[in-house]
Structure 1
Amino acid sequence: MKKFRDRLLQKIKCILFDVFGTVVDWRESIASEASLLGKKYKINGNWYEFADKWRNAYNTEIQSVNQGKRNWISVDDIHMERLETLLEEYKFPKLEKEKKISFNQSWHRLKPWPDSVEGLQRLKSKYIIAPLSNGNMSLLTNMGKYSNLPWDAIISAELSTKYKPDPSVYQLGAKLMGCKTSETLMVAAHKFDLIGALNAGLLAAMVIRPKEFGERKADIDNDTRWEYYSKDFNELADQLNCK
C-alpha cells in the first residue's frame, strides 16, 4: 500500500478544485445576504430555502446546456434568471437594475469553509492549484479576491462552453495546467463531479462537507474509486505530504 501511495504522489503534478460547496459555503453565504436584503425591505422569509431554490435553478439549467436544450449561458445569467422569479415569489418590491445586479453578485462573495484558505496554502506549497468550476471567469476571479483564495490560475467551464460533468471540461482543465489527465487530481465534495473527473481520466479526491445542505444529507460516503478521502483540506494536505 505504501509503495502504491508513493507512486501515486509522484504522479500528481497539479490539483483542480470544485468551488461551490467544496471550497466555499454557498448556502450560508447566500442565506445571510438574502436575510439582510429581507430586513431592509421588512420581508420575513426562510432564507435557507431561498438559497436552496436559487441554487436548484443552476443545477437544472446546466443540464439543459449540456443536453443541447439551450444555448450556452453563464452561471451569472442563470442566477439572474432565477433571481427575477424569486424576488417576485418572496414579494420584494421592484428593485432597480443596479440593486438586482449587486444582489446577484452575492455569488461572487461566498465565504470559504474554515479550513479552506489554510489548506489551499499548504497544497499550493507543493502543487499548482486552480479552481475547475462551472462558475464563470468573472465570478471566480471576484470570489478568489474576496475570500483570499490562493489560486495559481483560474479555470472555468466557460472556457469550454460545456458544464461539468462533461468530460471536455476536466480534460481542458488538465491541458490548461500543462498536465496530463493522469497527473491531475480533482478535489470535490460531490460524487457526480468526481465520477465525471474519473471518466475523463483524472484522479479523484473526496473532501466531505457534511454541512453544505444544512439538514439534508451531503455526499460523505467513502468510495473505493477515489484515490483520496478526507474530512477537510488540511487532512488532504497531510495525505499529500504537504508542509
Structure 2
Amino acid sequence: MIVKALIFDVFGTLVDWRTCVAREVEAHLQPLGLQVDALAFADAWRDQYQPAMEAVRSGRLPFCKLDRLHRHNLDVVLADFGLDAVDESTRQSLNLAWHRLDAWPDVAPGLHRLRRHYRLAPCSNGNISLMVDLARRNDFPWDAILGAEVARDYKPKPAVYLAAADAFDLTPAETLMVAAHSSDLDAAARAGLRTAFIARPDEFAQGAGERMPTVPVDLTAVSLTDLADQLTP
C-alpha cells in the first residue's frame, strides 16, 4: 500500500462532539435559568445533521457552510425543547459550540507522529473556519484544510473524497481516509481511496460507538497513536 497523504473525518473520529456540545449547552442555558438535559439536547442537535446535509446533497438546497446548517438545526431543536425564548445573541454563541470541541487524548500526539511521514488534512463536512478553530484549539498539524467546503458538497458524495486527493495532486489510491464510521469509509473506498478505521466506542455515549468496522478496510486501529505505530517506522 503506497500512501502519501492521510485525510480525516473529524466529528467523532478526532473530537468528542457529544460531551463538548452538552457542556456548551449547559454553559449557555443555565445562566438564563433554563434547565435542560444537555446530553439529550446534544443528541437531538446531532440527529438533525444528516437530514440537513441531505437537502444539499439531493439538490433541494444550494450548498452552504455547515455553520449555517447547524444554526438552522439549533433553532429547530430549541423549539422542540420548548426553548423558543432563547435570545439571538445566545443562539449565535451556542451555534459556535462546534468550533470549541475537544480532541480525544490520542489525537494530537498521533497526528504529529504521522505528519513526519505523510501529508495531513481534514476531510470533514465542517466548514473551513470551523476546522481551523478546532486545529488551533487542539494542536492539529494540518498541511491543508479540505473537505466539504472545498468540494462544495457533503460526504458521502464521492466528490468530497476525490477533491481531497486531487488537492494534494495524488491519486485516490495514494490517499488514506481515516474515520471512526464504517459508512464514511465505505464511501471513500468506493471512490477509490484506501481506508483506515479508528475505534471510538464511546462516541454516542458509553459503549455506543463503533468498536470494529462493518465494512472491509485496509487498516484497523484503536487510536491515532496505534495508527501511527502501524504506518511509521
Range 209-218 or range 220-229, more displaced = 220-229
1:95 to partner: Cα distance: 4.1
Residue matched to 2:186: 195
Which runs of 5 or more structure 1 residues have no equivalent in the other structure? 1-7
1:238 to partner: Cα distance: 0.3
Amino acid at match of 1:188: A
Which runs of 5 or more structure 2 residues have no equivalent in the other structure? none
Residue matched to 2:100: 109
| SS state at 2:226 partner | helix
| SS state at 2:197 partner | strand
| SS state at 2:203 partner | coil
Report if aligned partners of 1:19, 1:131 keep a CA contact under 8 Å in 2. yes
Amino acid at match of 1:74: K
Amino acid at match of 1:142: D
Aligned pair 1:37/2:34, yes or no? no
1:23-64 C-alpha deviation (Å, 9 max, x unpaired): 000001100110112221122221111011111111111122
Query: 2 CA distance for matches of 1:98 and 1:179?
Result: 43
Amino acid at match of 2:196: A
Report if aligned partners of 1:115, 1:234 keep a CA contact under 8 Å in 2. yes
CA root-mean-square deviation = 1.6
Aligned pair 1:237/2:231, yes or no? no
1:85 to partner: Cα distance: 2.5
Query: 2 CA distance for matches of 1:117 and 1:68?
Result: 36
TM-score, with length taken from structure 1: 0.91
TM-score, with length taken from structure 2: 0.94
Query: 2 CA distance for matches of 1:63 and 1:216?
Result: 27
Closer, same or farther in 2 for the Cα pair 1:93/1:182, shift >3 Å? closer
| SS state at 1:86 partner | helix
1:175 to partner: Cα distance: 0.5
Query: 1 CA distance for matches of 2:173 and 2:128?
Result: 25
Report if aligned partners of 1:16, 1:186 keep a CA contact under 8 Å in 2. yes
Query: 2 CA distance for matches of 1:111 and 1:190?
Result: 19
Query: 2 CA distance for matches of 1:141 and 1:44?
Result: 32
Query: 2 CA distance for matches of 1:224 and 1:26?
Result: 24
The percent identity for this pair of structures is 36
Query: 2 CA distance for matches of 1:224 and 1:54?
Result: 27
Range 142-151 or range 113-122, more displaced = 142-151
1:86 to partner: Cα distance: 2.4
Report if aligned partners of 1:58, 1:75 keep a CA contact under 8 Å in 2. no
Q: 1:169 aligns with which of 160, 165, 170?
A: 160
Amino acid at match of 1:180: T
Closer, same or farther in 2 for the Cα pair 1:154/1:211, shift >3 Å? same
Query: 1 CA distance for matches of 2:64 and 2:201?
Result: 30
Residue matched to 1:4: none
Q: 1:21 aligns with which of 12, 16, 30?
A: 12
Query: 1 CA distance for matches of 2:99 and 2:154?
Result: 18
1:162-217 C-alpha deviation (Å, 9 max, x unpaired): 11111111000000012111100000000111011101100000001001000463
Query: 2 CA distance for matches of 1:210 and 1:140?
Result: 23
Amino acid at match of 1:110: L
